[in-house]
Amino acid sequence: MIRLVIADDQALVRDGFCSILNREPDMEVVAEAADGARAVAAVTRTRPDVALLDVRMPVMDGLQAGRT
């Protein structure tokens, strides 16, 4: 099972990705975040295999979050 965190500041985009990815039998979205700081916290908390990060988010962008 591939565990994912989805981070995007637009709820509709997050919902779309989650809907698509959760339909895959070998994938599970374990957390969502609306900004980079929350994404880092979600990754720390859930330890996913993959984090899908939007490059333009408030507080901390996806590039900064990925480096953290």
Strand order in the sheet with 27-33: 27-33, 2-7, 50-53
pLDDT tens for 16-58 read 999 999 999 999 999 999 999 999 999 999 999 999 999 998 8
Q: Tell me the pLDDT band of 67, cut-offs 50, 70 and 90.
A: confident
Q: Residue 44: its pLDDT value, please?
A: 97
Is the entire prediction scored with pTM above 0.75? yes
Is 62's pLDDT higher than 90? no
Q: Residue 58: its pLDDT value, please?
A: 84
